[in-house]
Amino acid sequence: MSIEVKVPVLPESIADAIVATWHKQIGDSVYRDENLVDLETDKVVLEVPSPVDGVIKEILEADGATVVSGQLMAVIEEGEVAEPEPVAEKADETKPAEPNIPPAAVSKDSKLAPAAKRIVSEENLDPQQIAGTGRGQRVTKGDVIAHLSSGAGSRLEERVRMTRLRSKIAERMKEAQNTAAILTSFNEVNLQAVMDLRKKYKQQFIDTHGIKLGLMSFFVKASCEALKKFPVVNAALDGDEIVYHNFMDIGIAVSTERGLMVPILRNAETMSLAEIEIMIAEYAGRARDGSIGLEDIQGGTFTITNGGVFGSLVSTPLLNPPQSAILGMHTIKERPVVENGQIIAAPMMFTALSYDHRIIDGKDAVQFLVAIKDALEDPSRMLLGL
């Protein structure tokens, strides 16, 4: 019996998707729940599993095609999938001997994407020498191009279509610049107290909660305390109305190979430091391996981004619409500071708050950053609600 494979129902916020990669071809055997194809949306990559055991009969939408909810993509002939039996062939004395290809080379060649295989053949390349960056170490066209480009004097060029995610990021960032009146305020924080706390309770925290105590959880808690004092920073502009949120859904920007994603910590104001660290680690892992869900990255009332992990000393982060503010963290550098009349070396970080000046006044933005500074330089304030 023929079974149709259709595009799953996409959320209302997503109009269509791009067929990213077919993992099966016509005539291939498939098993129930085996991934057939990846669909790329402007937020995440969706996997479409096989509904039955069978054989691929038709593929109606090729890689790169745009599809919508419910659209027919393939047809599977349902039935028992038999394991192929090796066929012994008689030696043909008139036929030239096959080259003795090492098993490793055969395995590597089987991981070549179709476009990559064509270039490998044309350029007479050894697939064993090409590092694969695709899923399951699959060698992509980009991997082959990079391998060729690594040669001395190479002047290769390649024109690559933007991924759906990258295109959406570009669209939203330009929208933010064109729509909001964006200003950025800066401050600096002495993180010595936070560093001392992390060092003192490092092992005990791991033993108790099974995860390291990082910096981000302190910044999330400090941001929540500051948002309580300045709720307009947690608000959003909707037409001629300001929408004040009585909850704090904090987005944590995560860099992935596909681009920037912002998983959301729902009701972060109710979470402990350990809960924040656990959720951030889980979301970051899922974002990077492509298993994060749409519900994990939708919404959010305020965002924190950490350019410091890449060495950024200071930057002006761009708003994540429709949010009205975003906090930028940066690299920690030991700098001379004056404390009690003495010059000492302290771990200092520049912080930046980009905000929509249409609804957030400069006074509120500056005082918001000061509130974060006060909370981090004396973490006990957060426990006392000061």
Residue that terminates a domain, selected from 78, 111, 139: 78
Q: Is there a catalytic annotation at residue 357? A: yes
Average confidence (pLDDT) over 220-236 = 96
Which amino acid type is present at position 240?
D
Q: Is residue 339 part of a domain?
A: yes
Catalytic residue among 330, 357, 364, 378, which?
Answer: 357
Q: State which residues form the domain around 309.
A: 166-384
What is the CATH classification number for the domain harbouring 8? Answer: 2.40.50.100
Highest mean pLDDT among 2-6, 107-111, 128-132: 2-6
Tell me, what's the pLDDT at 97? Answer: 47
User: Which residue did the predictor score with more confidence, 220 or 65?
Assistant: 220
Neighbours of 84 (CB within 10 A): 7
Confidence of residue 109 (pLDDT cuts 50, 70, 90): low
Co-location of 295 and 198 in the same domain: yes
Smallest CA-to-CA distance from 13 within 39, 49, 48, 44 is with: 44
Smallest CA-to-CA distance from 16 within 228, 167, 241 is with: 167
Confidence of residue 83 (pLDDT cuts 50, 70, 90): low
Co-location of 331 and 378 in the same domain: yes
Q: Are 317 and 354 in contact (CB under 8 A)?
A: yes
Q: Is there a catalytic annotation at residue 361? A: yes
Q: Judge if pTM exceeds 0.85.
A: no
Question: Residue 50 and residue 56: Cα distance in Å, rounded?
Answer: 10
Summarised one tens digit per residue, pLDDT across range 17-64 is 888 889 888 888 888 888 888 888 776 778 888 888 889 988 988 888
Average confidence (pLDDT) over 166-191 = 89
Q: Are 66 and 17 in contact (CB under 8 A)?
A: yes
Q: Token digits for 268?
A: 């972060």
Tell me, what's the pLDDT at 185? Answer: 97
Confidence of residue 12 (pLDDT cuts 50, 70, 90): low
Question: Residue 118 and residue 116: Cα distance in Å, rounded?
Answer: 5
Co-location of 239 and 306 in the same domain: yes
Confidence of residue 359 (pLDDT cuts 50, 70, 90): very high
Tell me, what's the pLDDT at 135? Answer: 65
Co-location of 206 and 129 in the same domain: no
Whether pLDDT at 106 is above 60: no
Catalytic residue among 361, 364, 374, 378, which?
Answer: 361
Distances from the Cα of 348 to the Cα of 42, 332, 337, angstroms:
37, 5, 9
